[in-house]
Amino acid sequence: MIRSMTGFARRERQGSWGTLTCELRTVNHRYLELSLRLPDELKSLDGDVRQLIGSALRRGKVDASLYLKSVHGTAPTFELNHEVVTHLVGKLRELSQAAGTTAPPNAIELLRWPGVVREAERDLTPLLAEALELAGEALGDLNDMRSREGARIRELIKQRCDAMQTTVNGVRARLPEIGRRIRVKLTEKIAALNAAPNNERLEQELVIYAHKMDVDEELDRLTSHLTEIAAIIDSKEPAGRRLDFLMQELNREANTLSSKSQDVDTTRAAVDLKVLIEQMREQVQNIE
């Protein structure tokens, strides 16, 4: 089943560390392009989150964000770096002895020294696990939305394929009548010249003219492409690029049909086909 490249998902989870939020937004893009924003506490997840998203999405511009809001009133805890304190106290005593003084080290001055006070390390393992799990849940919601949108796009494409096939069948049914009109037109032109018709030469000219104007091959290819599209939109494989290629091929055949047309109704049918192809192309650009 085809999937749209447009989607949005948002998931939240609360714990002792606060509120964790994951937001995912995707729009159409030729390739997979990921923009990822993480708070400092979750920076180590950068590679894991990118791998998670890359395994679930094939195409699209992805804007992914993880936010962490700490519990209200929770202040960071600090601790002394005892190694640095011991080293500084020793150096201050050496300095006091060299200066001939016995003043004790000033605790306030020591606290101002870089590295003396540091934020206590926290065990972030549970938070990292929760964040990665939350990202996976949001990604599942995103793909569900993209699949629902893809189902709607599939129906639009199928309707237009059916309309195109009806038009192709109508042109094919009129081919014998068009051939008879061509014969009558050539016979009338010869009669207008007041010349005796050469039946053998007339048949040769009709064959040559009919060959130039023959659209059977174009109609066959149009039908073949429509059949292939029907198979693609029901497959489980990514379909966007293949459908984009088939839109180009459909447009090529419709243009050839128009250029070969010697009949107003066939020309009108070719225009109708190109309108339907353009409508499908706009939808196909948003398929993964």
Residues near 173 by beta carbon (within 8 Å), at least 6 away in sequence = none
Identify the three-state secondary structure at position 120: coil
Instruction: Return the pLDDT at 261.
Output: 79
Structure tokens at 5: 């490249």
Structural domains of the chain, ranges and CATH numbers in brackets:
7-73+130-144 (3.30.230.10), 78-119 (no CATH), 147-284 (no CATH)
pTM assigned to the model: 0.71
Pairing, β 32-37 against β 60-69: parallel
Structure tokens at 33: 């392009």
pLDDT tens digits for the chain (288 residues)? 789 999 999 999 998 888 999 999 999 998 999 999 999 889 999 999 999 999 999 999 999 999 998 765 455 566 667 777 787 777 777 777 777 776 666 777 766 767 666 555 666 788 899 999 999 999 999 999 999 999 999 999 999 999 999 999 999 988 888 777 767 676 666 666 665 666 666 566 655 665 566 788 899 999 999 999 999 999 888 889 999 999 999 999 999 998 887 778 888 999 999 999 999 999 999 999
Contact indicator for 171, 257 with CB cutoff of 8 Å: yes
- Alpha-carbon span 153 to 157, nearest angstrom: 6
- Alpha-carbon span 236 to 26, nearest angstrom: 20
Structure tokens at 106: 């000033």
Contact indicator for 3, 283 with CB cutoff of 8 Å: no
H helix intervals, the chain: 46-56, 82-99, 107-112, 125-192, 199-213, 216-232, 240-260, 264-284
- Alpha-carbon span 183 to 205, nearest angstrom: 10
Instruction: Return the pLDDT at 281.
Output: 94
Environment class of residue 178 by beta-carbon count within 10 Å: exposed (0-12), middle (13-18) or buried (19+)? Answer: middle
Instruction: Return the pLDDT at 209.
Output: 60
- Alpha-carbon span 130 to 123, nearest angstrom: 13
Q: Backbone dihedral region of 81: left (phi > 0), alpha (psi from -120 to 50 degrees) or beta?
A: beta
Instruction: Return the pLDDT at 67.
Output: 93
Q: Please name every residue paired with 8 in a beta bridge, in sequence order, or none if there are none.
A: 25
